[in-house]
Amino acid sequence: MIKRWFRREDPARVRVLMVCMGNICRSPMAEAVLRAKLVRAGLAAEVAVDSAGTHGFHKGAQPDPRAVAQAQRRGYSLQGQKARPLVADDFERFDLLLAMDRDNLDTLHERCPPPARDRLRLLLSFAPAGATDEVPDPYYGSIAGFDHALDLIEPACDGLLRDLQRRLAESP
């Protein structure tokens, strides 16, 4: 059963927050990938997606140009996204807060009120079983790191989409 943690005026039935450290690479890409998959599945009005960073040092910045370019090459748009820090209200507003790696998941656990901790997960927990459960941060690497991040994010978002479809079908 899906609980409505978000504001009543929001028409979405489920809200998902993608979380990384600075909110300029991994979480914006994950937001764009899931958003595109929701549109293709006809669920864009049912599921709201946003992203945030556990650290606010890029607040207001656009996504990294390498993230924008590599996502665009695969048909995903990061247009209009701006980095924002995670805020306390996010733990109330979102039904799922999905971290890109264990460090950011640990930070979420530290900041999250105990009753909401069941909403915290790694994004890759929705991916098919693989060698890793973390999306590595491509920021200090080459463009290949952004492609690798997308290679991990895309199947995880496919699994997440299936989970969301199941949740929506089960809830009134």
Residue-wise pLDDT for 37-70, tens only, equals 999 999 999 999 999 999 989 999 999 999 999 9
Residue tagged active-site, from 20, 25, 112, 157: 20
Which residues, 6+ apart, have CB-to-CB distance to 29 below 8 Å? 63, 67, 70, 71, 76, 78, 146, 149, 150, 153
Residue tagged active-site, from 26, 35, 66, 119: 26
Please say if the pLDDT value at position 6 is more than 80: no
Q: Helices marked H in 14-142 — which ranges?
A: 26-40, 65-73, 90-93, 102-111
Under DSSP, is residue 120 helix (H, G, I), strand (E, B) or coil?
strand
pLDDT band at 11, cuts 50/70/90? confident
Is CATH 3.40.50.360 the right assignment for the domain spanning 14-170? no
Q: Are 146 and 70 in contact (CB under 8 A)?
A: yes
Q: 71 is written with which tokens? A: 């996502």
Residue tagged active-site, from 50, 64, 90, 137: 137
Please say if the pLDDT value at position 7 is more than 60: no
Active site residue 26: yes
Q: Are 78 and 28 in contact (CB under 8 A)?
A: yes
Active site residue 25: no
Tokens 């996204």: give the residue.
81
Q: Which residue has the higher pLDDT, 99 or 128?
A: 99
Residue-wise pLDDT for 78-98, tens only, equals 999 999 999 999 999 999 999
Active site residue 20: yes
**H-helix or E-strand spanning residue 17:** strand 14-20
Please say if the pLDDT value at position 3 is more than 60: no
Under DSSP, is residue 6 helix (H, G, I), strand (E, B) or coil?
coil
Name the residue ranges covered by the structural domains of the chain: 14-170
Considering the chain, what percentage of its residues have pLDDT values greater than 70? 94
Which residues, 6+ apart, have CB-to-CB distance to 128 below 8 Å? 155, 159
Q: What is the mean pLDDT of the chain?
A: 93
